[in-house]
Amino acid sequence: MGLPKNVLIREVGPRDGLQNESVWLDTMEKRTWIHLLEEAHLPYIEVTSFVHPKWVPTLKDAKELAQSLNKKEDLTYAALIPNEKGLAHFFEANLEVGAMFISSSETHNKKNMNRSIQETLPVIKQMTTDLKAEGRQTRAYISTVFGCPYEKQVPMDQVLRLTEQLLSFGIDEISLGDTIGEAHPLQVERRLDLLLERFPADKIALHFHDTKGMGLANIYTALKAGITMFDASSGGLGGCPYAPGSSGNVATEDVVHMLHKLGIETNVDLPCLIKAAEWIEAKVDRTLQSHCLRAFQSHTT
């Protein structure tokens, strides 16, 4: 298969990135970063997470942040939601996309959600019904699709079963998570062959963490299989606090740079993305893994 003409980038930095940082950014600082990302014309930003503040303290100002945003019309604002309590906060915050999550491996689900997979599914089903009744879009992550820190390989049957169940709830988009960055191109090709035999590509996004530097190669493989939605994180921040070994997501600016070189349209402004990555790098006060950011900095110093 050839390459697609257009790709949608799902920016997850303010959520996946900050949930894994120890540094505290106050609400105004988070807004500033989100504003820089808005300036890059990203179509989607996952701005925060309505999980328990004890579990993810760096996002404890989720509602205040969401309510304080000066939202742009052509941009979709999303947040992560674990359960009905989080959903109530999400509705108060008035965002457009509710992003739910479940893991394809039992142990990770238990550590992440404090529930079994079977206990999590009805919660997601009910939240999907509630979100749809309020006219919101729905997304669900399936984590550990390419490897689990506790159970190692996850059987593909389990991923297919969960994808089918989530789509049967009416969820608009499923994002398959490589939570600890174990995926490699051959595995991505094989898993997508099986998935795309059964489900349409326009329902599937991919979410690669870049722990072993395979993120871009995996995205290229997925593009050739027909996937057109990819999650990425400004600067390459990211990681799941309940998945040991997980590190940053593939950096948004690296993904956009590769896509543009491939002649694929994203509508995203790369220099603005670099500015946003530079800003967050200074805030977290450590060198981030973004290649484009490094190249830009060595060019300008």
- Annotated catalytic residues are 240
Applying CB under 6 A, which of residues 4, 55, 185, 284 lies at the interface with ligand HMG? 55
The answer to the question of residue 98 lying near ligand HMG (CB under 6 A) is no
* Token digits of residue 78: 């999303």
CA 147, chain centre distance (Å): 17
Dihedral of CA 222/225/230/234: which sign?
positive
The answer to the question of residue 178 lying near Mg ion (CB under 5 A) is no
CA angle 55, 132, 11 (to 5 degrees): 50
* Token digits of residue 185: 């191109």
- 81 or 288: whose CB is closer to ligand HMG? 81
The answer to the question of residue 126 lying near ligand HMG (CB under 6 A) is no
The answer to the question of residue 159 lying near ligand HMG (CB under 6 A) is no
Applying CB under 5 A, which of residues 16, 21, 182, 254 lies at the interface with Mg ion? 16
Three state DSSP letters for 17-46: HHHHCCCCCCHHHHHHHHHHHHHCCCCEEE
Q: Which range binds Mg ion by CB under 5 A, 15-23, 150-158, 181-189, 280-288?
A: 15-23
The answer to the question of residue 11 lying near Mg ion (CB under 5 A) is no
CB 71, min distance to ligand HMG, A? 22
Spatial distance between the Cα atoms of 131 and 125, rounded to a whole number of angstroms = 10
The answer to the question of residue 16 lying near ligand HMG (CB under 6 A) is yes
Residues in contact with Mg ion by CB under 5 A are 16
Residues in contact with ligand HMG by CB under 6 A are 16, 19, 49-52, 55-56, 80, 82-83, 85-86, 101, 112-114, 141, 143, 177, 179, 207, 209, 240-242
